[in-house]
Amino acid sequence: MKKGYLSDQGMCDPEERLRFEELISDLSSHFMKLDRTEVGPEIEKALQKILEFFDVDRCALFKVSQIKKVVEILYLVDRPEQMPVPPDMDAVRLFPWCYDELVLKGNVLPIKVVEVLPEEANVDKASFESLGIRSILLLPLQVVGVVHYIISIASSMGRNKWQEECIPRLRLLGEVFVGALERNKNSLELEERFRFETLISGISARLIKVPHNKVDQEIERALQKMLEFFQVDRCGLLQTWGDRKTWMVAFAAYAEGVPRAPEKTELPMSLFPWVTRRLVERQEVNQLNTVDELPAEADIDKQTYREWGIRSTLDIPILMGGHTDYVLAINAMLHECAWPEDYIPRLRLLGEAFVNALERGRVEEEMNKARSEIEELNERLKVENVYLRKEASKQEVFNKIIEQSDAIRYVKYRVQQVAPTNATALIFGETGTGKGLFAHLIHELSGRKDKPFVTVGCAALPANLIESELFGREKGAFTGAQERQIGRFEFADGGTLFLDEIGELPLELQVKLLRVIEDGEFERLGSSQTRKVDVRLIAATNRNLEEEIRQGRFRQDLFFRLSVFPLTIPPLRQRRDDIPFLVKQYLEEFGRRHGKQNLAISEDAMKRLQEYSWPGNVRELLNVLERAVIISRGPMVQIDPLLQADPDSKLHAGRSEERPAVKTEKTPAATELAGVEREHILIMLKASGWKVEGANGAAAKLGMNPSTLRARIRKLGIKRPGA
């Protein structure tokens, strides 16, 4: 202790020495009995007594941060207005020589006057002078061989009653302070560790039991609790993509006032190249108590952290399947933060619990989806079997559409025109004319022939069930809905949906049908999920829809949507030439069905069949023929004698009256084709407001050149009413 800047005087007054010893002993023994909550106030009282004993201006206990290289004021007492109160100090910058002597070498510094400090301490001297310090005693205090605390006794007037023989006793008192503080710290750390373990265990337990549809909510809740525990500003779970070019913020919790990133935000990895290599390639934890710890090669990362206001960060890679899929990130923005090493393994386990819950939820969701798809497939197969059985029975009839008459040949020509397209078709015709067979023919001649052809009889279903039949329903959608049901639109996806007797559809469902036609979208009953389908629509009616529109029973906009390509099936009375061929064909079929061969019919009976008006059309004819086959006792089939040409005969009077949709006049066979064509053109002219040209004109609807249409109108003698 011979250096000129150190005090080398002894404490000469024995009474003063005794008083000093008593002070140190009293303070030391007093600290042994303190409760944890009393340590801080008692240290301040002890520092005050030292200040008074040595008659100095300031006594302080500092805490040294080896990582941050700063000195933090723990406790300070001073004479009022003697010296400015220093902030937490960047010790390496302000006191490089003292920091080296105290912290690195562990030397005591009893500085008699700062003016005599060596030349290498010029920076320290300037810093002391800026704080008004003339003399100072600095005592380093170690914990497990490392300097963690410093006692400072400073004077602004050069008073330095601390003598060399006082230093061991002051150091002893400092160690008493440190012991009490470390006991406090250890106790607090134990409590904090217990809280941390309780937090982690609680979160993990909840994640194990949480339903898959609430995993996201539980992870967000857990991140918020971590945010509060560490008293940081942002906690998040980041996901890496297969191409390893971006991070995605999958989940995040924010402290109040911290800017929030948009949900599912993707961040280019190029913003953090050094950190990314550490996390992804080397699978190492990125633990930064301060971004200044980043090496020179991490300048891009450092710049990004500073731009984003991040001062400390802890990033833990979570390994799944041998590569990094997720990263648990904790950021401090308002202050720097030291991350306890022994917390990191537990945080990694927590991150794995997050990821396992997400993966479990994903697997459960996929299983539920697969289960739902299997259920829907089973439902589809059940429905399909029903349709296949129905269609199989229709197929024989379908293959035998008679086309001897010009009227039917024209209809089949029109079918061949529209079939290759996806246009909506509207088929007009009386009951029994075979509208469903022609709808099926359009499907079979289209590119959708290998997909389902689904029929819905709008008149055959109760009004309260049509909606669920068309659009499907979820379980519990209404009373009695015990299970989910796939609607006809879903079943017909990719194929054709035939709506028979569309005029019977309730008005409220006509609106929903219009939406499906326009957008291809609908919702099942009891579900808010919008479903999309690709369905070609064919509708049929035996009603006069124009009259229905006038009566307010059918929507005009739906009519226009449906009648993109109208077809009219002529009644049997307008195609009498087809009757002999129909009779021959179905006598053979019914004969095979009922075990009777080589059946024939007399000329008189055939004449009566051709002269009859057939209000039930082909369907009625088939019923008459099958009944005749059943009751026949020989090869000659006898037609019911009650079947007469007069429509008011007893046979006809016993039937329910059926009003034809399209009024037609009886015409000779040679003019049947012209009559059917005339009806088509009339319908389109009326639907177009007698407009021939333009996007909504009759020519566009008929797929004809306007001049050609005008020529046909003149030839067929069509005139606008009132013209």
167 lies in the same domain as 219: no
- Let me know if residue 388 belongs to a domain: no
550 lies in the same domain as 635: no
- Let me know if residue 722 belongs to a domain: no
72 lies in the same domain as 177: yes
- pLDDT of 542 > 70? The answer is yes
CA distance readout (Å), 690 to 684, 687, 720: 8, 7, 7
Pick the last residue of a domain from 520, 543, 568: 568
- H-helix or E-strand containing 23? helix 14-32
Pick the last residue of a domain from 535, 568, 601: 568
Rg (CA), the chain: 49
- Let me know if residue 720 belongs to a domain: no
Q: Where are the alpha helices (DSSP H) in 551-667?
A: 556-562, 579-594, 603-611, 617-631, 650-653
Q: pLDDT exceeding 70 applies to what percent of the chain? A: 80
Cα distance between residue 80 and residue 57, in whole Å: 9
429 lies in the same domain as 285: no
Phi–psi pair at 131, nearest 5 degrees? -95, 0
260 lies in the same domain as 308: yes
- Let me know if residue 723 belongs to a domain: no
pLDDT band at 380 (very low <50, low <70, confident <90, very high): low
Cα distance between residue 330 and residue 234, in whole Å: 6
pLDDT band at 496 (very low <50, low <70, confident <90, very high): very high
Assign residue 453 the CATH number of its domain: 3.40.50.300
504 lies in the same domain as 551: yes
* Per-residue pLDDT tens over the stretch 295-320: 989 999 999 999 988 999 999 888 76
- pLDDT of 656 > 50? The answer is no
Cα distance between residue 684 and residue 524, in whole Å: 35
Q: What integer pLDDT is reported at residue 301 of this predicted model?
A: 92
- Domain holding 450, by residue range, is 400-568
* Per-residue pLDDT tens over the stretch 424-435: 999 999 988 889
Mode of pairing for the β-strands spanning 266-268 and 286-288:
unpaired
128 lies in the same domain as 21: yes
- Let me know if residue 341 belongs to a domain: yes
* Cβ neighbours of residue 498 closer than 8 Å, sequence gap 6 or more: 436, 439, 440, 443, 453, 454, 455, 456, 538, 539, 540
503 closest CA partner among 398, 430, 589, 437 = 430
- Let me know if residue 1 belongs to a domain: no
Give me the residue label for tokens 């079939």.
419
Q: In degrees to the nearest 10, what's the CA dihedral of 503, 508, 514, 515?
A: -160
CA distance readout (Å), 532 to 150, 375, 481, 516, 518: 74, 19, 23, 9, 11
42 lies in the same domain as 181: yes
DSSP state of 528: -
502 lies in the same domain as 634: no
Q: In degrees to the nearest 10, what's the CA dihedral of 341, 342, 348, 354?
A: -120
Mean local confidence (pLDDT), 60-75: 79
- Let me know if residue 385 belongs to a domain: no
**DSSP 3-state helix, strand, coil percentages of the chain (rounded to 5)?**
50, 15, 35
562 lies in the same domain as 593: no
The answer to whether 534 touches 392, Cβ cutoff 8 Å, is: no
- H-helix or E-strand containing 425? strand 425-428
* Per-residue pLDDT tens over the stretch 265-279: 778 888 889 998 888
Cα distance between residue 453 and residue 388, in whole Å: 9
Assign residue 57 the CATH number of its domain: 3.30.450.40
Pick the last residue of a domain from 363, 383, 409: 363
- pLDDT of 590 > 50? The answer is yes
DSSP state of 261: P
Phi–psi pair at 248, nearest 5 degrees? -120, 130
Assign residue 698 the CATH number of its domain: 1.10.8.60
* Per-residue pLDDT tens over the stretch 438-468: 999 999 899 998 888 988 888 877 766 788 8
Q: What residue type is 567 in one-letter code? A: L
405 lies in the same domain as 286: no
Q: pLDDT exceeding 90 applies to what percent of the chain? A: 13
- pLDDT of 612 > 50? The answer is yes
Cβ neighbours of 129 (radius 10 Å): 12
Q: Which residues of 225-252 are buried (b: 16+ CB within 10 A; e: fewer)?
A: ebbeebebbbbbbbbbeeeeebbebbbb
- Let me know if residue 205 belongs to a domain: no
Number of separate domains in the chain: 4
581 lies in the same domain as 564: no
